[in-house]
């Protein structure tokens, strides 16, 4: 759950961090400001750990970032933190690094959303076929069988239509809604 929350917040956190770094703030200030904003519930606890390791335990920024990177459940956030460590220790531009990571994480986020929208399109086609068209055809078939007179599997046409109408179709609709809630990314 934490990993999914971090994954959803990460592009926006990195953009926020890049903006703060672009203003010329010290690296520790980046973490303080973003953690204190209250906007990123998924990443907030990880950022607070960095601030606490520095302020309370006296670690330097690189060590604090390493400690958080080693315990975070998100591989992508771990990569961002390790990249920050490399940039800080090599004397590179943190602003440039965060700007490039912001573009990269936002691109990945947009691609994942596009894939989800495409999957939803497929699911809507399946829903239309299985839960709208198929029951209509089934009812028409039952009506024809009823006119000709007969039973199906020893059950009357009326009993089959009642089971389909009041049990099978609602069950399939509920199952489809549960499926959609499971595959939906957290927004």
Burial letters 116-152, b for 16+ CB under 10 A, else e: eeeeeeeeeeebeeeeeeeeeebeeebeeeeeeeeee
User: In the prediction, which pLDDT does 171 show?
Assistant: 95
Evaluate whether 104 touches 79 at the Cβ level (below 8 Å). no
User: In the prediction, which pLDDT does 127 show?
Assistant: 93
The structure's pTM equals 0.71
Per-residue pLDDT of the chain (187 residues; tens, 9 = 90+): 788 888 888 889 999 999 988 888 888 888 888 888 888 888 888 889 999 998 888 888 899 999 999 998 989 989 999 999 999 888 888 889 999 999 999 998 899 889 989 998 999 999 999 999 999 998 898 888 888 887 788 888 889 989 998 999 999 999 999 998 888 766 5
Task: Give the count of beta carbons closer than 10 Å to the beta carbon of residue 93.
Answer: 11
Evaluate whether 43 touches 9 at the Cβ level (below 8 Å). yes
Distance of CA 161 to the CA centre of its chain: 40
User: In the prediction, which pLDDT does 1 show?
Assistant: 77
Q: Whole-angstrom distance between the N-terminal and C-terminal Cα of the chain? A: 13
Using alpha carbons only, give the angle 43, 45, 46 rounded to the nearest 5 degrees. Answer: 65
Measured distance CA(56)–CA(49) in Å, rounded: 10
Measured distance CA(50)–CA(157) in Å, rounded: 68
């Amino acid at each position: 759950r934490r990993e999914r929350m971090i994954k959803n917040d990460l592009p926006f956190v990195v953009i926020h961090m890049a903006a703060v770094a672009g203003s010329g703030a010290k690296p520790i200030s980046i973490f303080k400001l973003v953690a204190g904003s209250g906007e990123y519930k998924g990443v907030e606890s990880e950022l607070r750990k960095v601030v606490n390791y520095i302020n309370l335990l006296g670690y330097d920024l690189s060590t604090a970032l390493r400690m958080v990177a080693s315990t975070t459940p998100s591989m992508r956030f771990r990569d961002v933190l390790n990249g920050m460590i490399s940039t800080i220790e090599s004397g590179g531009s943190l602003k440039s690094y965060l700007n490039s990571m912001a573009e990269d994480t936002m691109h990945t986020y947009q691609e994942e959303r596009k894939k989800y929208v495409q999957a939803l399109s497929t699911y809507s086609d399946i829903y239309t076929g299985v839960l709208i068209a198929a029951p209509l055809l089934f009812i028409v078939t039952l009506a024809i069988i009823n006119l000709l007179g007969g039973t199906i599997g020893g059950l009357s046409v009326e009993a089959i239509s009642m089971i389909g109408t009041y049990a099978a179709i609602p069950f399939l609709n509920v199952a489809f809604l549960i499926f959609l809630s499971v595959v939906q990314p957290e927004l």
